[in-house]
Amino acid sequence: MDASNGPADGKLMSEVSATANRLLKRLSRGMQALLLAVVALGATVLLWVATQVHQPTWKEFLNALATGLLVSAAFGIAQALITSRVTTEMLRASVVDEVSRSLAQSNNAYIPSNEFPASNAPGVQFNGLLSRDLARSTNFWFRGMSSRYTAARLALNQNGALQAHLILPDPKIPGTLQGRIDYAIRHEIYPDLSAEDIRSMLKHNISLGLVGLLGACHRCAIMELILTPMPLLDRYEIFRDAIWVTLYSDPGQGTKFPRTLRFPVSSVMYRMQEADCLQTRNHPSSRLIEVPRALSDDDMVETFNKITGEELTKADLTRLSAEFREFSNNFARTAGIRRST
């Protein structure tokens, strides 16, 4: 769903236009009345002075000057009445244009360009636009939980210059999954599962996402994993032209895929989160894992164990890799993403 407020903006602009028109008319009429009063007062003073002067030459001069002022004022007011509408329209257009620019700048800074409602399945329009943003980017930041869907997109990436920076919860730190577990319990996403079952499922999804990311490292120029003990509940994906915010903190959603907002690169949200991601990357409590472009199976097992602190075997790697390929194929089909041959 597009987040542009066309009808509301049109109504607001109409109100601004009407208000500007009224103010300009009042200003124009007020200036005309002031001019008439000044000229009339000046002419009256001149006529009075003429009655006090006895010299005929000066009397005629003052009478002619006063009469000329009155005639000039009359013609000026008549001309102002004729041209006031044109002048008012020009001034009104100028005011409305300035207000329009201010509103547009405000919209770009604080209002999302797109909004996608919560759902229980991947959306075609959502994934199509997000995939286009990824294809146009050379620098990509991800901040989320399991990264399964991001790994599936990176597995399809054709941009060899892409630099991927992924901020994930540190599996070695207890409690990093609690926020997402609480969300699932609060909204009854998995009503048949206990808290421990949900924890096990999330850990499995994280393992699946890690295997997918390690398998997709050759698709990126640079891939680094930033493991933080302080993960955020919401998910952020920063591209060249936009930032996507998936609101797991949004109350009352209760769906597997919460409401998502897309903000342009000129927005305050983009600048704030980009700075926050850089700060998280450089934080002393974060672990930085730089993934080389070429990984053998032994290297993948070693890297996985280094990240999670678990003992993954080659058999486990083979099983998880096959499961991820199936997940990636299903996701691409459901989301309408075409796989390259």
H-type helices in the chain, by residue range? 6-52, 56-110, 124-135, 148-155, 178-186, 195-215, 268-281, 297-308, 314-335
Confidence (pLDDT) at 229? 94
> Which of 77, 110, 143 is where one domain is finished?
110
1 found inside a domain:
no
256 shares its domain with 231: yes
Domain co-membership, 170 together with 262: yes
Tokens matching residue 149 = 């869907």
Highest-pLDDT range among 114-128, 240-254, 261-275? 261-275
- pLDDT at res. 240: 95
Least confident of 1-5, 185-189, 190-194, 327-331: 1-5
pLDDT tens, position by position, 30-85:
666 666 677 777 777 777 776 777 777 777 776 777 777 777 767 766 666 666 56
pLDDT band at 319 (very low <50, low <70, confident <90, very high): very high
211 and 324 both lie in a single domain: yes
Task: Say what the pLDDT of residue 288 is.
Answer: 96
Mean of all residue pLDDT scores within the chain:
82
pLDDT attached to residue 1: 46
Asked whether residue 164 falls in the same domain as residue 238, the answer is yes
Higher-confidence position of 35 and 240: 240
Alpha carbon of residue 247 to chain centroid: 14
Q: Is residue 19 part of a domain?
A: yes
Residue type, 126: F
Q: Which residue has the tokens 């009429």?
A: 29
Q: 21-30, 144-153, 223-232, 254-263: which has the minimum mean pLDDT? A: 21-30
Q: Are residues 140 and 181 in the same domain?
A: yes
At 336 the pLDDT is: 76
Query: pLDDT tier at 26 (50, 70, 90 boundaries)?
Result: low
Which of 89, 110, 131 corresponds to the end of one domain? 110
Rounded-to-integer distance, Cα 79 and Cα 71, Å = 12
* Pair (167, 224) in one structural domain: yes
Indicate whether 279 belongs to any domain. yes
The enclosing domain of 168 has a CATH number of 3.30.870.10
pLDDT of residue 341 exceeding 70, the answer is no
Q: Do 255 and 197 have their domain in common?
A: yes
Residue 120 sits in the same domain as residue 235: yes
Q: 203 versus 101: which is more confidently predicted?
A: 203
153 and 290 both lie in a single domain: yes
* pLDDT tens, residue by residue, 86-105: 666 666 666 666 666 666 66
Residue 147 lies in a domain: yes
**Nearest C-alpha neighbor of 112 from the set 24, 304, 293, 243:** 243
289 DSSP 8-state letter: E
Q: What pLDDT score does 42 carry? A: 74
> Are 137 and 93 in the same domain?
no
Give the count of domains, the chain.
2
Where residue 162 falls among pLDDT bands split at 50, 70, 90?
A: very high
Q: Which residue has the higher pLDDT, 228 or 252?
A: 228
Asked which of 110, 130, 162 is the last residue of a domain, the reply is 110
Q: What is the pTM of this model?
A: 0.71
Do 95 and 241 share a domain, yes or no? no
CB under 8 A, 24+ apart: contacts of 102-109: 103/9, 103/12, 103/13, 108/264, 108/266, 108/267, 109/266, 109/267, 109/268
**Within a domain: residue 340?**
no
CA 12/CA 6 separation, integer angstroms? 10
Average pLDDT, integer, range 284-312: 93
Checking if the pLDDT of 192 tops 60, the result is yes
- The answer, yes or no, to whether residue 128 has pLDDT greater than 70, is yes
Whether 215 and 324 have beta carbons less than 8 Å apart is answered as yes
Provide the token pair at 39: 């000229």
Of 50-54, 114-118, 152-156, 321-325, which range is least confident?
50-54
pLDDT score for 3: 44
Quick check: is 91 in a domain?
A: yes
Q: What is the mean pLDDT of residues 327-341?
A: 77
Question: What pLDDT shows up at residue 256?
Answer: 79
| Lowest model confidence (mean pLDDT) among 14-28, 107-121, 200-214 | 14-28
Answer whether residue 281 is part of any domain. yes
One domain for residues 236 and 277? yes
Domain limits for position 199: 114-335
CA distance 335 to 178: 28
